[in-house]
Amino acid sequence: MNKKLKEIPKFANESEEREFWLSHDTTDYLDWSKAKKVSFPNLKPKTQSISLRLPLWMLDSIKTTANRQDVPYQSLIKVWLNEKLEESQAGAK
C-alpha cells in the first residue's frame, strides 16, 4: 500500500508542534515502516540542582563512606536514592 503522505507543517515553536501532534495521527505524515532505530549514547538525562539540608553528622558520615568507596559523595547519595526508589516501586506492585 502506497499511501500519499501529508506534508508536516512548519511550527513557530515547540508548544505549537506539541498541540498539533496531540490532535493528528503521525501515520498520515510519516512512513513508520522506513523508521530506523537510533541511539544517543552521549545524551545525559536532564538534572536539576536542589538544596538539601542535612545534619552535619550525616553529611560527614556520607562523605566518609563515599571516600572509602572512592566516589564523589553526591554520586553516592544519588545511587542510594535510586536504590530506595526502585525498592519502593517494586514494593508498590
Contact 26, 36 (CB under 8 A): no
* Amino acid 39: pLDDT: 86
Residue 41 in any domain: the answer is no
Residue 45 in any domain: the answer is no
**Number of domains comprising the chain:** 2
Query: How far apart are alpha carbons 77 and 64 in whole angstroms?
Result: 12
Residue 22 in any domain: the answer is yes
* Amino acid 60: pLDDT: 98
Residue 63 in any domain: the answer is yes
* Amino acid 90: pLDDT: 86
* Amino acid 1: pLDDT: 54
> Do 2 and 32 reside in the same domain of the chain?
yes
| Domain extent for 31 | 1-36
pLDDT per residue rounded down to tens, the chain (93 residues): 577 899 999 999 999 999 999 999 999 999 999 999 988 888 888 889 999 999 999 999 999 999 999 999 999 999 999 999 999 998 876
65 is written with which cell numbers?
A: 563512606
